[in-house]
Amino acid sequence: MTTFTIQDVSRRSGLSEPTLRYYEDVGLIGPIERDERSGHRRYGDGDLDEIETLACLRAAGVGIEDMRAYLANRARGREAAAEQRDLLLRHAQRVEAEIAAQQVRLRYLREKAALWDARDRADAVAEAEVLRRLTGAVGSLEALR
């Protein structure tokens, strides 16, 4: 059986060593086998697969409790398919809302830059048009608060 050190797993997964230790402490992974002589962690192929799954979930913004639920559902297989779908769709909706909020922020920043550009060019017509658009952008931005 191939084993990996915590450094190997950290490099492969992109998760830091403290994160790997934390995930073991909170029961997301493991318990991880230990080298009898050194006491160092030795991860197996199954551990690595699970950790890579967790790394992807973490990168997608999934929290610890939902990671735990995801892993439990994954172990149940097909009978938990609907629960897995619902968990992932909940997170997809949250990400969509975050994207929409970022788009509002981006619109405001671009309009504000356009306002200063019009002022820099001393273009009163363009400035008036940007101010009209900026009013809508500010309203959208205020709605995020």
* C-alpha to C-alpha distance for 117 and 80, rounded to whole angstroms: 55
* C-alpha to C-alpha distance for 143 and 103, rounded to whole angstroms: 13
pLDDT at position 2: 86
Q: Where are the chain's structural domains?
A: 6-83, 89-144
Q: What is the pLDDT of residues 11-36, one digit of tens each?
A: 999 999 999 999 999 999 999 999 99
Tokens describing residue 83: 């629960």
Greatest alpha-carbon pair distance for the chain in Å reads 78
Domain formed by 6-83, architecture: Orthogonal Bundle (1.10)
Tokens describing residue 126: 């363009």
* Residue ranges of the chain whose pLDDT lies below 50: none
